[in-house]
Chain A
């Protein structure tokens, strides 16, 4: 894991790396507003384009496969089409108007927002905690690392039936509650609120391992001298975590925020496999809604419109979080 990928900007701001645009060993590092533009290569235009043939195959594949599909989805979103019939009706922005008036769409967005906030907060907390603990001298560290990471590599299709059984009215969770003398007839998946909690807990269980790995790697980059200096100054463990480690992994946290936000928007497999978006759409996300309207209801045009909105939201979310991260980094520098 490279420094840049795991929080380079945070370390630059909080852990003593040089700010952008400074000279190190005679060479300028990073870019600033004053950085001069690189000189244009001399020679005729075809010489300047000499690299184009080398990148063209990749460009064609990415444009052809990805951007063409996005464009085609945008086109389909203006149709009323079942996805198979030879003819489709042009409805212009009709699918988007329908979306604005669709209460399930707004509920899906709400669920996404709540899902993002909860899963992000809990995953960051757990990931940080595991990383901090396993950076200390703990016995069987490797075993714990494996245990924390294993859920990441298990397919949701494999775990979903297990969780459905665990949370069933006659499942293991109720059995444990009964053993403890608590009410043991809860239908967890039949209640909208608890069903959403189940979906979130499964997501957290599945994704905490990757956050742990990211934090673990980011913490490895923090200068140990700073930590030792803090100890010598009498800083407590919590103070070290709060004042040195947390700012030091800020870039990682930002990356996790972006990944979790985009992942939340794309959430599909866990709610689809465990709750099928129910009960009464209380665990519906954009992903499950797109699948339901496109496949079950054969309203492919409307599904495409939802997909385009999902794409735009994901892009906006990534840009916003990036900007927020940069602004905060600049204010700290």
Chain B
């Protein structure tokens, strides 16, 4: 009897094992097919009802909730659940999610870079071209930010609806600290040095930046190069000139000089832009940082309050009045500070989504409708990509409306006119090479000449399209 029971148990164990083995060992695609790619859902469900998941690294939760709330005023039967994934983890999290059959219905892609890059994830995205034509008409391309359409299209298919544009090249100051210590906003290297002397003598930092870890320093380097000669950076970025060009080597020398002149706070290569620099600036410890257009959100009462709460700053702490200013003419050649802009992000619809139609409705509403883009614009986080949409400044509560509103309007106008790419045309390996060079020069491990040669080597080793 016992032996019989044992045999039955053995049989059950074998059966379970076989099932597990067969279930778990599904053969991967043959050859070099690694299992990615798309299988479009056959039905896609209703376009006006359902439940969808939206994954992104941007915007912050409070801004996303505002966008979803506005969407639900028009589409109350589509429930959108937003999952914000930190920048550093987004690519790693999205990769297996999209490979599975239960990934997000809508996911955000970046035009380039390391966070959700289009060239990595576009194969999972459904073609939105027919739907956007339906929504905006046959001439839809003329109504949407052109660089965004180009960046998020592949094989004549729009793989993600442009949703946000980003600009950089400006700086942000704490207006209150400049007023308190009667410091003039610097317009050249000498004035910048003078301003920093004043701030440091009062126990503050000056220009704080995280060098190397997350690439924000590349914007500073870009601004320095533009100060030496406008357009030079793009010539190097597009292989028209070598990075060893003396003018570019001079840019690295100037960057190092910002540190030796004590304009740049000490230890930049050991600092992270988020959270270190961001927290120091928003809590009033340093008067200057270089951030881009996305930083406008901290001019608003709501976003600044949320950010300070997130950083653990007491609620009754006075809110800083941040103001965008031009990058100083560090080369002393009289070249004006310029902004450089990229298509920042776009909303893609997972081709495997079981709610593909509802997901498409949401993605196109965010980027292709006046209502959606107005909500995005009013969040003052991203620049809108639909023609004719601008923030309704009178509806947006700023920390100091009188001071900040004209400055933000000016920033948005310049960003709208910006034609120079930021880093959209730099593959990740090339972008990292520039950031590595900045870190090496400012960390003192390489001379500007050596760093320039390293960047050129990296560009040679990683040709565009490789």
Residues of A whose CB lies within 8 Å of any CB of B are 50, 53-54, 56-57, 60-61, 64, 68, 72, 76, 79, 81-90, 161, 164, 167-170, 185, 187-192, 195, 275-276, 278-282, 294-299
Contacts and interface: CB of A to CB of B under 8 A. Distances in A.
Contacts of B38: 86
Nearest to B114: A296
B125 to A, nearest CB: 11
A86 B123 contact: yes
A58 B436 CA distance: 46
B36 interface: yes
B68 to A, nearest CB: 27
A276 B428 contact: no
A88 B13 CA distance: 39
A161 B274 CA distance: 12
Contacts of A57: 13, 16-17, 20
Nearest to A297: B428
B272 A192 contact: no
B2 interface: no
Interface of B: 10-11, 13-14, 16-17, 20-21, 24-25, 28-29, 32-38, 88, 91-92, 94-95, 98-99, 114, 117, 119-121, 123-124, 205, 211-213, 265-272, 275-276, 285, 428-429, 432, 436, 439-440, 443, 445-446
A87 B443 contact: no
Given A278-B213, A278-B439, A169 B37 contact: no
Contact of B10 (A53, A83, A169, A191): A53
A135 to B, nearest CB: 41
A190 B114 contact: no
Contacts of A170: 205, 285
27 contacts: A56-B13, A57-B13, A57-B20, A76-B34, A79-B32, A84-B94, A84-B95, A84-B120, A85-B123, A88-B34, A161-B275, A169-B266, A187-B269, A187-B270, A189-B267, A189-B270, A190-B268, A190-B270, A190-B271, A278-B439, A279-B439, A280-B212, A280-B445, A294-B92, A296-B432, A298-B120, A298-B428
Given A189-B270, A280-B269, A82 B17 contact: no
B10 A82 contact: no
A240 to B, nearest CB: 45
B154 to A, nearest CB: 11
Contacts of B29: 86
Nearest to A279: B269
Contacts of B120: 82-85, 298
A167 B117 CA distance: 34
A68 B11 CA distance: 25
Contacts of A76: 34
A232 B423 CA distance: 76
Nearest to B269: A279
A296 B25 CA distance: 29
A187 B17 contact: no
Given A64-B24, A278-B443, 20 more contacts: A50-B10, A53-B13, A54-B10, A57-B16, A60-B17, A61-B20, A84-B121, A84-B123, A86-B33, A88-B32, A88-B33, A168-B267, A168-B270, A169-B267, A189-B269, A191-B270, A276-B272, A280-B269, A297-B429, A298-B114
Given A86-B36, A169-B266, A64 B21 contact: yes
Main secondary structure of the interface of B (DSSP, over half): helix
Nearest to A167: B270
Contacts of A87: 32-34, 36
B12 to A, nearest CB: 9
B289 to A, nearest CB: 16
Contact of A84 (B11, B36, B285, B439): B36
Given A89-B32, A279-B443, A56 B270 contact: no
Given A85-B123, A89-B32, A168 B276 contact: yes
Nearest to B28: A72
Q: Could you say which of B124, B276, B443 has the most chain A C-beta atoms within 10 Å of its C-beta?
A: B443
Given A57-B20, A192-B443, A279-B270, A83 B95 contact: yes
Contacts of B213: 276, 278
Contacts of B32: 79, 81, 87-90
A263 B16 CA distance: 35
Contact of A280 (B24, B271, B285, B436): B436
